[in-house]
Amino acid sequence: MSRYFFHQVHAGRRIEDHQGSLHSTLDGARNEALTGALEIMVGRLWKGQDPNHSYFEIVDLAGDVVLIVPFQDAIKGHPRETQPAKEIDQQIARRE
């Protein structure tokens, strides 16, 4: 297992993830980034903010950026399309 950090970049600001999470593959880390992107985008939409033009830098323990995941990739083809939609419906129901 490797630890990856998910630094969020939006509007020229970088929010660093100091905790990170463990994944057996980089693909697993990418899937987590896509799920997180969807959650953040929903929150921004609810606040009337632009959800686009953000991305995650996935960084390894050495501090190297190993993958950049644009938030828009989460819309284009998340590998678990039905699960995030269900989660989004639940978030909407809680806010009503």
The C-alpha atoms of residue 76 and residue 70 are separated, in whole angstroms, by 10
HSE-CB of 38 using CA atoms within 13 angstroms? 23
Residue 51 CB neighbours (<10 A): 20
What's the pLDDT score for residue 51?
Answer: 74
Task: Compute the distance between CA of residue 27 and CA of residue 2 in angstroms, rounded to an integer.
Answer: 12
pLDDT tens track of the chain, all 96 residues?
Answer: 999 999 999 888 999 999 999 999 999 999 999 999 999 988 888 888 877 788 999 999 999 999 999 888 888 765 543 334 445 455 556 655
- Is pTM beyond 0.75? Reply is no
Rg (CA), the chain: 14
The encoded tokens of residue 16 equal: 């660093």
